[in-house]
Amino acid sequence: MGDQVSALTRRLSADAAERLARSSGAEASARVLEPAAAVTPVPATRDPAAKGRHLEVCRTEAVEYCKRTGLESFEFRNQALPELSLRELDISTRLGPWHLPTPLMIAPMTGGTPEGLALNRLYAVAAERFGLAMGVGSQRVGIEHPDRARWYRVRDVAPSILLFANIGAGQLARGWGCAEALKAVQMIEADALFVHFNPVQEAVQGGDRDFRDIAKRLATLCGDLASEGIPVFAREVCFGLSEDAARRLVECGVAGLDCSGAGGTSWAKVEAFCAKTPRRRAMGLRFGEWGIPTARSIRNVRRASSGIPLIASGGLRTGIDLAKVLALGADVGAMARPFLLQASESEAALHAFIEDLLDELRICMFGSGAGSVAALRERLDPVSPSVAGDI
Ligand SMILES: Cc1cc2nc3c(=O)[nH]c(=O)nc-3n(C[C@H](O)[C@H](O)[C@H](O)COP(=O)(O)O)c2cc1C
């Protein structure tokens, strides 16, 4: 499996390098200065190749925000007398109805192509081994092209993990509902469903741009799926949640949230590098820094609801970042691009990376005297007194 992915990666990297060379230098800078794109027709179905381009671009291009997550504004209070054993710390967590062995998740990324399946299966094996939760990427392709549904399935290699299916709010706005959501869940034998909200990503790429009545549609979906025993979580994809958005999502009846904020992968930048025209590319780059940083996004959700099950993602890069999002009030921390980069290297690299993340989390707990994930919450200080108010 690892070899298969590495071979794919090598091939994709060569293509990407060629494209990079074509679009580099003066020609690229000139493009960025062109005027904004005109409105183009909305594609009726998702081009299955689009997900492949996202992977390639995320591996090879400068897709990260320049601005930071806000996590750097906090530090753990050192505890010189922890009265704990590093080996016996409890890193388990609760996320709604689930008790998870670790507070770490592989955020939704891919599926629906042979390469997507190969990656998801690498992720799933690692998730099963280390007790991580996991989500697959948008299943739009699998629902619109049923012959591709098999390229999302990972349950056989990860029988015990918490697994999320995934559809887009854009599809809900176009009329998808309970039937399509259940297809997504059944396709991968998922425990729960993510509905991803990404209006800015859709707008810059010329995708779904009509989100009217979206709250009403989400509320109906939450009710319908609750009667089937399927919890619905709403998630951003990197642009963060305001307090108002979090409150409205909670009012819709979501079972949980992923407040994916700015500071890591910028989906406006990814779409810029995937753009088919220079004008679309310029528009993506102009919105490249749009978004609420992850630390503030967590705070916003917790102001809206102290108890809603909360996953935090967007720019987590180390086990210290993971510990900080837990200390700020998340129940689980999730990462996307770092896992893609490691899995593209090798299966061994992915596993070593996860081991390091969990070790770093344990060291944060040990060094701050927190015996459990819940105990981390009182151990974080702003680096300067003014910061707490800013975030
Ligand atoms: C290659 C790739 C593909 C992604 N595809 C999806 C997707 O299909 N659905 C979704 O909800 N989020 C998707 N995401 C967004 C991530 O789940 C995450 O919210 C975002 O990348 C921020 O996390 P990061 O900074 O750790 O990458 C994708 C991320 C990556 C890197």
pLDDT by residue, tens only, the chain of 391 residues: 444 444 444 333 333 333 322 333 333 332 222 333 333 444 556 677 888 899 999 999 999 999 999 999 999 999 999 999 999 999 999 999 999 999 999 999 999 999 999 999 999 999 999 999 999 999 999 999 999 999 999 999 999 999 999 999 999 999 999 999 999 999 999 999 999 999 999 999 999 889 999 999 999 999 999 999 999 999 999 999 999 999 999 999 999 999 999 999 999 999 999 999 999 999 999 999 999 999 999 999 999 999 999 999 999 999 999 999 999 999 999 999 999 999 999 999 999 999 999 999 999 999 999 999 999 998 999 998 776 666 6
CA 135 to chain centre: 9
- Please tell me the predicted confidence (pLDDT) of residue 8: 40
* Residue corresponding to tokens 């297809």: 183
Pairing of strands 133-135, 380-382: unpaired
Q: Is 260 in the pocket of ligand 1 (CB under 6 A)?
A: yes
The pLDDT, as a whole number, for residue 39 is: 37
pLDDT in the model for residue 180: 98
Residue nearest to atom 31 of ligand 1 (CA): 337
Name the residue at shortest CA distance from atom 23 of ligand 1. Answer: 314
| Dist CA 190 CA 126 (whole Å) | 17
The finding on whether 138 has its CB within 6 A of some atom of ligand 1 is yes
Give Cα 59 to chain centroid, integer Å. 16
Strands (E), the chain: 74-76, 93-95, 98-100, 104-106, 133-135, 163-168, 192-197, 232-236, 256-258, 310-312, 332-335, 380-382
Dihedral of CA atoms 158, 159, 162, 163 in degrees, nearest 10, equals 70
For ligand 1, is residue 299 a contact (CB within 6 Å)? Answer: no
Q: Whose CA is nearest to atom 10 of ligand 1?
A: 108
Taking a C-beta distance cutoff of 8 angstroms, is the pair 132, 173 a contact?
Answer: no
Ligand 1, atom 3: closest residue by C-alpha: 109
Q: With a 6 A CB cut-off, is 237 part of the ligand 1 pocket?
A: yes
Q: Report CA(135)–ligand 1 centroid distance (Å).
A: 10
Q: Closest Cα to residue 252, out of 273, 227, 233?
A: 233
Q: Which two tokens stand for residue 124?
A: 């799933």
pTM for the full predicted model? 0.90
CA of 64 to the centre of ligand 1 (A): 12
**Cα–ligand 1 centroid distance for 110 (angstroms):** 8
Nearest CA to ligand 1 atom 11: 196
If you measure from the C-alpha of residue 384 to the centroid of ligand 1, how many angstroms do you get, rounded to a whole number? 31
Site to substitute for ligand 1 among 57, 120, 201, 238, most atoms within 8 A of C-beta = 238
pLDDT at position 51 is 84
pLDDT at 388: 61
